[in-house]
Amino acid sequence: MGEVKNPRRVGLIGVGNMGGAMARRLLQLGWEVGVRDIDADREGDAVRHGAQAFATPAALAAAHPVVVVVVVDAAQIELVLFGSDGAALALHAGACVVLCPTIGPASSEAIAARLAQHGVGCIDAPMSGGPARARDGSMSLIVACADPVYAAQRGLIDALSSKVFRVGTRLGDAARTKLVNNLLAAINLAGAAEAIALAERLGLDAATTLDVIERSSGQSWIGTDRMRRAIAGDLAPRAHTSLLAKDTRLALEMAGEAGFDASLGRAAAARFAAACTAGFAGLDDASLLRLLREGGA
């Protein structure tokens, strides 16, 4: 008898903080995982955990029935799917692409339409929760796609996340939901940083003030998580400041197209943009506290 291939095969394009954690989780669960990343160190780390590296997105796509894209933005998705040696040209009819970055809904719809021309399905599936939650499968996954595509990839989706939110069949609705969530996350984080900076200006102990806040009406998960790190001086990037700057910009564009005035969102977006201008783009988004401590806008 010939060798029986593992039916649970998946390729990941992008194995940074989130993609790398997702790859390790799938490997631990017995999936056969292929990876491609422009960063050789990231690829090497995934290989050390048992993944197989591929030289191009096209080579990876040719070997896998489903490809999960975990890059930063729509431009990078465009490059890895439709650029030179892009995955789309090598995917077999009936294959599926899972889009995990936070992008605009119009981008999700356009990418899905182009993939459909190749007979390839698409799942609009932005993720949330950070690398630790991606590693243990407790991250949130917001999913929109056609029912047959969802049924075919249910095993993979459940392996990646124990917190799956199926928001419908209209591609782009998962992106819309994620941007609404991230706009609120940005507002909460900007507010938490402002409150802690004010507490310090008043001569209060920041950590003690946060103890009170996280057990009182001012508590937010992102505020507690980020401000604990910022107070400790830990700005090593789990979620880069540049990402919420991008996400708030996309959310405001979406709001504008809907004729909605997101005034609090604009204020939060301005803070993240100021942090990037101040040189904090590559730091953790807890950097907003540092920005305010240093007198930034």
pLDDT above 90: percentage of residues in the chain:
94
Quick one: how far is CA 268 from the chain centroid? 19
pLDDT in tens, 183-205: 999 999 999 999 999 999 999 99
pLDDT in tens, 84-141: 999 998 999 999 999 999 999 999 999 999 999 999 999 999 998 889 999 999 999 9
8 Å CB contact between 36 and 69? no
Catalytic choice (5, 163, 178, 246): 178
**In this structure, which long-range contacts are made by residues 201-208, counting pairs with CB atoms below 8 Å and at least 24 apart in sequence?**
206/231, 207/231
Alpha carbon distance, N-terminus to C-terminus of the chain: 68
Burial 8-30 (b: 16+ CB within 10 A, else e): bbbbbbbbbbbbbbbbbbbeeee
- The reply to whether 178 belongs to the active site is yes
- Return the DSSP state at 26: H
Q: Can you tell me the distance from the alpha carbon of 249 to that of 127, in angstroms, rounded to the nearest whole number? A: 18
* pTM exceeding the 0.85 threshold for the entire prediction: yes
pLDDT in tens, 128-182: 888 999 999 999 999 999 999 999 999 999 999 999 999 999 999 999 999 999 9
Query: Coil, strand, or helix at residue 297?
Result: coil
Q: Which structural domains are found in the chain, ordered by start? A: 9-171 (3.40.50.720), 176-293 (1.10.1040.10)
Query: Coil, strand, or helix at residue 123?
Result: strand
